[in-house]
Amino acid sequence: MTRWLDPDEQQTWRHFLAAGQLINEALDRQLQREAGMPHTYYMILVALSEAPKRAMRMSELAARAQSSQSRLSHAVARLEERGWVRRERCPADGRGNVAVLTDEGFATLAAAAPGHVEEVRRSLFDVLSPEQVRELGAICSAVRDTLER
């Protein structure tokens, strides 16, 4: 009944898990050390920084930053305490909130970005050939399309 993994698939799967975790740990360590925030928070700041007026509805932000709504809500509360983000009531929809990246938040992000990109290169792009990067892009895109929603 169960379609078990054959030895090759097993190995691929374990490499996949190991690689993914090593990269995530590297990202988190670098950001925690140099910017005092986890990668999930960084992703939230990035998403906000790219939005018009650096502002976005909470649910839209959750989608962009690949966060659950609850996680985002907690995270933004922390980011607000640090003064990097501010929340405003949404005028168009009384239920909604809009998260806004403050200047201080933007400055923090700008300061953190170079070190982060360097880490991204070190842990992924520098390791792979251009051909592999293309392949990886296609693979991840396929996974994403399948699992998303």
Q: Please state the separation of Cα 50 from the chain's center in Å.
A: 13
Say how far apart CA 41 and CA 46 lie, in whole Å: 9
Bridge partners of residue 88, in order along the sequence: 98
Residue 83 contacts which entry, a copy of itself, DNA, none (Cβ below 5-8 A, type-dependent)? none
By CB under 8 A, tell whether 74 contacts a copy of itself.
Answer: no
Shorter beta-carbon distance to DNA: residue 7 or 94: 94
Applying CB under 8 A, which of residues 31, 43, 76, 109 lies at the interface with a copy of itself?
Answer: 43
Applying CB under 8 A, which of residues 29, 74, 89, 144 lies at the interface with a copy of itself?
Answer: 144
CB 98 within 8 A of CB 57: yes
Looking at residue 4, the DSSP 8-state letter turns out to be P
Q: Collapsing DSSP states into helix, strand and coil, what is residue 16?
A: helix
Q: Determine the interface stretch with DNA among 2-10, 37-45, 122-130, 133-141 (rule: CB under 7 A).
A: 37-45
CB 99 within 8 A of CB 76: yes
CB 65 within 8 A of CB 45: no
Q: Determine the interface stretch with DNA among 8-16, 25-33, 109-117, 135-143 (rule: CB under 7 A).
A: 25-33
By CB under 8 A, tell whether 90 contacts a copy of itself.
Answer: no
Using CB under 8 A, list all residues that contact a copy of itself.
1-5, 8-9, 11-13, 15-24, 26, 43, 66, 113-114, 117-118, 120-121, 123-125, 127-128, 132-144, 146-148
